Structure 1
């Protein structure tokens, strides 16, 4: 197992300590009230696999920040996210939400605290977008409770944030892949949790809507101090919008920390097998200029 630990000045070093939050950079009296999500001594696999798919000594999603999980296909990003959201039981280790193991929560109680947008989303085609988004409110209502004003406000806010207000009356089966993705994002936002995990939320979206989604996530952090973990394929987007990056390689964290400390030519070569230049001084975050894909034997 492995982890990556930020030093007090933000430098990243391999160690057996915690991949902790940047509390040294935040005044004690100004700490976010959002929960912190921690995975400890994790070994995660699937039925039928002899060896764990992911092994991680310590992983922290710091409270009130965006943490992006990046890496090539098969590196364990989505598997790790499933374990963090209690959708996949780890073989060993635990996932702790503000001091309490996630497995100890009831399903509805956990859904009020932690929201997950996975890649596997299926909905009856007859549902309208607004009806789908209303499903995000289920953890906040009893079985016989009707929709109240709090629910309606949450749904309206979610439709607006996701930019799908004009689609509210459209049936899901009449939408494009990108429109469906935005509707699912709106449903996750309507759940109104303090921790939100998203697995490749920008898939199927054009560049305009990709940026819109990432801007929404930044707004949730900057305004509501939500704790966010997001799996992304685009290292450039992750470097621009995330407070922290966890780079995954072969089922283990390769490096962890602020984008300007983590994203460099060595990361692109070793993790993504790409030759690239990285401008770490770019105003919006590390700017990646890829040149070519490396052969398996190059740069090892």
Structure 2
């Protein structure tokens, strides 16, 4: 495992302007931090993820990468307050997420998990309006702000032409974009996505990641995303968190993290890495290595 790196502090992050174009030190984006985490499930005797510190920097896109079973989705669930740590805590702008009530957390942090279902007869527009629930009282009618947020989310996700279409008639890629429209309508400062491109064709994979990148660049939203494709992660993310066997193996900018040694040690792949290409490191896999 690589040598221990110094922690990145909020002051370090201010040295780089965020994606919304604000000047250094003036970002209002939110930061998500996990400290001294031990994560497990009722069916596991020992923690399946342990990490001293994990940082999702304000106003940046951070991708969690690693092989199956490395703990990426477990860590994301803890960051989203969907899994209570056995020890340690998750902080959103310095506040422990488990101390926030459900509506307040939902106004500040959006999660698109792998498991999401809705009646097949629900339209894309109706689904997007579900994302407005944290902003409305139980008996409150829809406001102009709600309509504006939904229209913006549908437009940004590129599904305006599907607005009145029922989910049951959509392709897998179209359905995923509809769910992304819903979480965008939630209008949060932090967005977490768990493997949003899995099972999608290449066109829809790129479309999903372009939507995420546009949202980050135009609105300064802090994004944490679990991805299987390290080449895709290197292209779209500002930071990578590489995981192996429930621990953080390496973290930092893609140009520093994506190396031939990492691909061999973490992913068990013999590959070449070209760091001279535009758009981040380019990974060319050659063969699978023995376990």
Give the alignment of 1:57-68 within 5 angstroms.
57-68=52-63
Using the alignment, how far apart are the partners of 1:24 and 1:126 within structure 2? Answer: 46
TM-superposed CA distance for 1:20, in Å, is 4.3
Match for residue 124 of structure 1 among 103, 119, 123: 119
Using the alignment, how far apart are the partners of 1:192 and 1:255 within structure 2? Answer: 31
Q: Which residue number in structure 2 is paired with residue 6 of structure 1?
A: none
Match for residue 279 of structure 1 among 251, 274, 284: 274
TM-score (norm: length of structure 2) = 0.94
TM-score (norm: length of structure 1) = 0.91
Change in 2 beyond 3 A, CA 1:280/1:24: farther
Match for residue 82 of structure 2 among 84, 87, 98: 87
Using the alignment, how far apart are the partners of 2:82 and 2:149 within structure 1? Answer: 25
Give the alignment of 1:19-168 within 5 angstroms.
19-20=8-9, 22-23=12-13, 25-26=15-16, 29-168=24-163
Instruction: For residues 243-269 of structure 1, give each alpha carbon's deviation from its aligned partner in whole angstroms, at most 9, with x where no partner exists.
Output: 000000000010000000110100110
Please tell me whether residue 192 in structure 1 is matched to residue 187 in structure 2. Answer: yes
Change in 2 beyond 3 A, CA 1:31/1:274: farther
The farther-off stretch of 263-272 and 207-216 is 207-216
Please tell me whether residue 18 in structure 1 is matched to residue 7 in structure 2. Answer: yes
SS in structure 1 at match of 2:111: strand
Instruction: For residues 80-139 of structure 1, give each alpha carbon's deviation from its aligned partner in whole angstroms, at most 9, with x where no partner exists.
Output: 000000000000000000010000100011000000000000111121111011000100
Match for residue 231 of structure 1 among 223, 226, 231: 226
Please tell me whether residue 254 in structure 1 is matched to residue 249 in structure 2. Answer: yes
TM-superposed CA distance for 1:182, in Å, is 1.1
SS in structure 1 at match of 2:45: coil
Using the alignment, how far apart are the partners of 1:203 and 1:20 within structure 2? Answer: 32
SS in structure 2 at match of 1:221: helix
SS in structure 1 at match of 2:131: helix
Q: Which runs of 5+ in 1 are unaligned?
A: 3-11
What is the count of residue pairs matched by the alignment? 285
The farther-off stretch of 171-180 and 88-97 is 171-180
User: Runs of 4 or more off by more than 4 Å in structure 1?
Assistant: 19-22
Q: Would the aligned equivalents of 1:71 and 1:249 in 2 still touch at CA under 8 Å? A: yes
Q: Which runs of 5+ in 2 are unaligned?
A: 18-22
Using the alignment, how far apart are the partners of 1:23 and 1:148 within structure 2? Answer: 36
